[in-house]
Structure 1
Amino acid sequence: MGSVVGKITVETPKYEVIQSTADYEIRKYSSSVIAEVTYDPAQFKGDKDGGFGLLANYIGALGNPQNSKPEKIAMTAPVITKTSEKIAMTAPVVTKSGGEGEGLNELVTMQFILPFKYAKAEEAPKPVDERVVIKDEGERKFGVVRFNGVASDDVVKGKVENLKKCLERDGYKVIGEYELGRYNPPWTLPPFRTNEVMIPVE
């Protein structure tokens, strides 16, 4: 999935650039098949990337593929992560943010985009681990900003806020939460890492 100096040598998603500005691109992504896992980082000692191993096992990146065939599936880029609020099944629901507990009420969804040869979810091998879900992702439109370096929480937050402002300034309607796309493995030197913040627009 790439090298120490950040060369991207794997399959990446197909998209069409609808508009390009100094601040961002508006892209229309083709439909794709994704493997995803949603988890509470607390299950992985607070590691937000804890789901990576489950997806890597499914495609066989870390050894024998953990799928029904078993079939080795090529790694693609980017690896996509998004967070959502954990919804408690109690009443009343009290949400506190800030302080030590910040971020602890979030669930993380991590996605691998499967190679183009899988046109529909049912064509992809079935995961052995039921936490891994295979699904079809329809055509979607995003406002996207690309940046290099480490995609730390603070950096990403700044990019998201700025991108939202720019999109709203230019009349785009934001229709969902942001996604973070990371194109390189952890061993890539930070200055050579490629990341993208993607916000769905109408």
Structure 2
Amino acid sequence: MGMILGKISVETPKYEVIQSTPDYEIRMYSAAVIAQVTYDPNQFKGNKDAGFMILANYIGALGNPQNAKPEKIAMTAPVITKSTKQEKIAMTAPVVTKSTTAGDNRMMTMQFILPSKYRRGEEAPKPLDERVVIAEEGERKYGVVKFSGNASDEVVKEKVENLRKCLERDGYKIVGDFELARYNPPWTLPPFKTNEVMIPIE
């Protein structure tokens, strides 16, 4: 019942709020270890979140963990979706989805941030599926705005444009494309969903 009503009971990324305004927060996120997978949504009937099952199998969310130990790894939140054009951009959060445009091919990268007990990449269990890659992320700074409801493309686009304008107005230098953080499973009632749009800044 708690998940339907938006209760977040899993580990979330550690960050420090550097500045809080009526329009956004500036946050510094701590270093983290991530598991990621890159794929072409067209091979999954256009499903942008197709990497979720691959990563869920790695941590053992759906049964036996598909890693070398094998070791069950706790799920974290949020799920982060990221859109980018060819340049590489630093990532954050437990589940991250990036889209990379190369010609007409649109690739997605989805990431889980692993629990904080894993401080280095080599401490995380080795994936059995070669599509799963373990990586380390350093400290990262973002402008962030929080909102509830369903994170439709239209809503997200509006939130990103507003956040970008506010950050530029206040003199922040944007250094990459936005990330969408979704903290709840799909069956959470929309008014109780927690979402964030995050834009990396210098």
Is TM (by shorter chain) over 0.5? Answer: yes
Deviation at 1:130, TM superposition (A): 1.1
1:108-127 matches, cutoff 5 A: 108-127=108-127
Moved over 3 A (4+): none
CA–CA separation in structure 1 for the residues paired with 2:55 and 2:189 = 23
Match of 1:43 in 2: 43
SS at match of 1:159: helix
Deviation at 1:189, TM superposition (A): 1.1
Unaligned runs of 5+ in 2: 85-99
Tell me how large the CA RMSD over aligned residues is. Answer: 1.2
Match of 2:101 in 1: 86
Match of 1:170 in 2: 170
Tell me the amino acid that sits aligned with residue 152 of structure 1. S
Deviation at 1:25, TM superposition (A): 0.2
Tell me the amino acid that sits aligned with residue 36 of structure 1. Q
Tell me the amino acid that sits aligned with residue 66 of structure 1. Q
CA–CA separation in structure 2 for the residues paired with 1:107 and 1:22 = 35
SS at match of 1:177: coil
Deviation at 1:106, TM superposition (A): 2.5
Residue 160 of structure 1 contacts residue 197 of structure 1 at CA under 8 Å; is this kept in 2? yes
Match of 1:102 in 2: none
SS at match of 1:144: strand
Match of 2:198 in 1: 198
Match of 1:184 in 2: 184
Aligned-residue sequence identity (percent) comes to 75
Residue 33 of structure 1 contacts residue 134 of structure 1 at CA under 8 Å; is this kept in 2? yes
Tell me the amino acid that sits aligned with residue 74 of structure 2. A
Tell me the amino acid that sits aligned with residue 10 of structure 1. V
Deviation at 1:190, TM superposition (A): 1.2
Tell me the amino acid that sits aligned with residue 58 of structure 2. Y
Aligned length: 186
TM-score scaled by structure 1? 0.89
CA–CA separation in structure 2 for the residues paired with 1:191 and 1:40 = 31
Match of 1:10 in 2: 10
CA–CA separation in structure 2 for the residues paired with 1:163 and 1:186 = 25
Deviation at 1:81, TM superposition (A): 1.5
CA–CA separation in structure 2 for the residues paired with 1:114 and 1:83 = 21
Residue 83 of structure 1 contacts residue 107 of structure 1 at CA under 8 Å; is this kept in 2? no
CA–CA separation in structure 1 for the residues paired with 2:149 and 2:106 = 24
Deviations 1:82-127 (A, max 9, x none): 1233324xxxxxx7xxxxxxxxx42222111100000001100011
Match of 2:160 in 1: 160
CA–CA separation in structure 2 for the residues paired with 1:61 and 1:73 = 8
TM-score scaled by structure 2? 0.89
